[in-house]
Amino acid sequence: MVKYLAGIMLMVCLCVPARALESGAEFLKIDASARAVSMGSAYTALAAGADAITYNPAGLAQSKSFELGFSHTNWLMESKHDFIGVAVPMGSKESSEKREEHRGITLGFGMTRLSNSDIEVRNADRSLGGSFKSYDQSVLLGLAGMMGKYRLGIGAKYIESVIAGEKARAVAADFGFSRRMNRLPISLGLSVQNMGTPMKYISQKDPLPLTLAGGIAVPIVPGLNLAADVKRFVYDKRNKVSFGMEYAVLSGFALRSGYMLNSAVKHEASGIKNGFSAGAGINFWNTMLDYSVTPYGELGDTQKISLKKRF
């Protein structure tokens, strides 16, 4: 019983360093891209390549060649968040490179994992009773392609959470749409995420964080891009509005900043609900290296690094 109680406390206070609302599997709200984080998570319209599978699966359709993506985050309370994914365009490489958009089908595979440090278990007399590990993870599969001028994508995911040996599982589906307008330099994106079965720990059932998202990206002048997102967390009955800016200072180098209203991550100890984020990125040899930092008050900063390589 002590382990069960400790596990429940861990789920609320550590595995998900966010305010517990109506949904479970809160780790699904953690970003997988440093570029997205540094732009305030305003990424629904910009999502492209291997990490698009976690934002808007339609963005997979922008992959013109095989792409491998990875990200690592020093998350809150000594936890770690990692993502690895690939985008695989189905079709000849030559035909993809000659077109602005890859016209075939693109497959995406990915995995996210939130790992926590060992948690001590105390007996009724407060003596040390051992320790246990906990983690949350999801395995993702995506499919995207072009339909006329529209990018359409669908994703499936298997979700698992383990606390003190107790497991909770769920399956979910994602849907995405994006398009670049013809006569206007504007990109639009829509996505539905985490539509699936509830997570069940012992006798407690929690729905997944069903999310509806819409985004827009606009290049103001050459090298300067602005983006905005609106997300609705259906079961949490809460909205999040994000704004981001990206400025190409030099060829292959970009500076970014963003701002979030009603951040998806709010911890009682910090009281943070809104906040800034910032970062930078560099492109070289078909490789994209990005970094972001987000402050969380007394809890410290979260830092993320992402790497994407095209072959």
pLDDT in tens, 38-70: 999 999 999 999 999 999 999 999 998 999 999
Q: Is the pLDDT of residue 286 over 70?
A: yes
pLDDT of residue 119: 61
Q: Is the pLDDT of residue 16 over 60?
A: no
pLDDT in tens, 250-274: 888 999 999 988 654 544 433 445 5
pTM over the 0.85 mark: no
pLDDT in tens, 117-172: 666 565 555 655 555 678 899 999 999 998 888 999 999 999 998 887 788 899 99
Residue type, 107: L
d(CA 257, CA 247): 9
Mean pLDDT of 76-89: 91
Sequence-ordered list of residues with C-beta below 8 angstroms from that of 180, at least 6 positions apart, any chain? 186, 187
- Among 23-37, 82-96, 286-300, the range scoring the smallest mean pLDDT is 82-96
pLDDT of residue 6: 35
**Residue among 282, 223, 242, 290 nearest 50 (CA):** 290
Domain boundaries, the chain: 2-310
Architecture of domain 2-310: Beta Barrel (2.40)
pLDDT of residue 22: 61
pLDDT in tens, 184-215: 889 999 999 999 999 887 778 889 999 999 99
Q: Between the CA atoms of 33, 35, 39 and 44, what dihedral angle is there, to the nearest 10 degrees? A: -60
d(CA 146, CA 82): 29
pLDDT of residue 26: 86
Which residue is associated with the tokens 């998202």? 213
What is the CB neighbour count within 10 angstroms for residue 128?
A: 9
CB burial class (10 A; 0-12, 13-18, 19+) of residue 167? exposed
